Copies of this chain bind each other. A is one copy, B any other.
Amino acid sequence: MLLKGNAIRDIILDEVKGDVSKLEVKPSLVIMQIGEDPASHVYIEQKRKMAAKVGFLFEHIKYDESVTEEEIITTITKLNEDKLVTAILVQMPIHKKYDSIKIQNAISPIKDVDGLTFYNIGALTNNKSYAAPCTALGVVELLKRNNISVSGKRVVIVGRSNLVGRPLSVILTNLDATVTLCHSKTSDLSSVTREADILIVAIGKAKFITSDMVKDGAVVIDVGINRVDEKLVGDVDFDSVQDKCSNISPVPGGVGPMTIAMLAKNVYNLYLQVSVKNVRKDK
């Protein structure tokens, strides 16, 4: 069975749109772009469309690479203090001369829609983060909306990135999965991936996971998006793996659309959490 994300994304965006329509002051998403990474243009355009669709206010702040780290952080500080700003996102990647971790951590945790501040990463362990990384949440939501339970299951994640593998391992452990986190230094990777009831792959290597690495009947989630000969392919060798597993997410059209849906949910959730805080303050 194919785990498609497009239809679920549309449902989630409709849900958020319905919630937003009831609000007098609309949630607002601010995206900061530094430099001219070509993929970033595409991703920011997707986010702009999503915002328009669900009814968020949207602001795109664009710097060229002459901007200093100090100037970026000054802008973030102003956005942190601006009551009309709900969510702040610095589009990655940015040039190596900037300390991206320092820049991410300048965002107030309650506006950190990517869930990448140290505060939110740590809070996630206690199920108390304001937001978690959208792609990780997208994987979990894709499983959930397909009624695939993770509790008690053996989940193997390949790839230990801060955006996907690491937060996923925390969220899935919170949900009672038994998680193994693999990476480039894992020895005998196939023997580990074959233990997975649910195999999640996020390493950015085209068609890396072949059928001999997958247990019969496993659920396979492919987070990779690689461009090969002008075609998008995942980290999983779809053609060979699809007959072996019970469920598999396609690329494109699997996890990708879920990411943008979870971004919409994150913005709305931040908005709600700020509202709750303000109500508490008023008391």
Interface size class of A (residues with CB under 8 A): 20 to 34
B122 touches A192 (CB 8 A): no
Q: A119-B119, A179-B181, A185-B152 are in contact. Are A126 and B192 (CB under 8 A)?
A: no
Within 8 A of B (CB), among A146-196: 151-154, 160, 162, 166, 169-170, 173, 176, 178-183, 185-187, 192, 195
Q: Choose from B118, B154, B185, B195 the contact partner of A119 (Cβ within 8 Å).
A: B118
Compute how far the CA of A145 lies from the CA of B125 in the bound complex, rounded to whole angstroms: 29
Interface residue A121 (Cβ < 8 Å from any Cβ of B) = yes
Instruction: Judge whether A182 and B178 touch: CB under 8 Å.
Output: yes
18 additional A-B residue pairs with CB within 8 Å, beyond A121-B121, A121-B123, A180-B180: A101-B126, A118-B122, A118-B123, A118-B128, A119-B119, A120-B122, A122-B123, A122-B124, A151-B185, A153-B187, A154-B192, A166-B170, A169-B169, A173-B181, A176-B183, A176-B185, A179-B180, A179-B181
Query: Are B166 and A192 in touch, CB under 8 angstroms?
Result: no
Quick one: closest B residue to A166, CB to CB?
B125
User: What residues of chain B lie closer than 8 Å to A195, measured between beta carbons?
Assistant: 195
Q: Is the CB of A186 within 8 A of B152?
A: yes
Chain B residues with CB below 8 A from A266, complex form: none
Q: Is the interface of A mostly helix, strand, loop or mixed?
A: mixed
- A211 lies within 8 A of chain B by Cβ: no
Within the assembled complex, what's the spacing in Å between the Cα atoms of A126 and B116? 11
Tell whether A173 pairs with B160 under 8 Å between CB atoms, given A118-B122, A180-B178: yes
Interface membership of A117, Cβ < 8 A: yes
A117's closest neighbor in chain B, by CB?
A: B122
Annotate A118-143 by CB proximity to B: 1 below 8 A, 0 otherwise.
Answer: 11111111101000000000000000
Complex Cα distance, B182 from A176, in Å, reads 9
Least CB distance, A57 to chain B, in whole angstroms:
29
Instruction: For A152, give the chain B residue with the smallest CB separation.
Output: B187
| Distance of A181 Cα from B177 Cα, bound (Å) | 9
The distance in angstroms between the C-alpha atoms of A184 and B30, with both chains bound, is: 42
Bound CA span A101–B125, Å:
12
Complex interface: chain B residues within 8 A of A118 (CB): 118-123, 126, 128
A142 CA / B195 CA spacing, docked (Å): 29
Q: Which residues of B contact A154 (CB under 8 A)?
A: 187, 192
6 CB contacts below 8 A, A to B, read: A118-B126, A122-B123, A122-B124, A125-B166, A126-B162, A169-B181
Q: Mark A19-44, 1 if CB is under 8 A from B, else 0.
A: 00000000000000000000000000
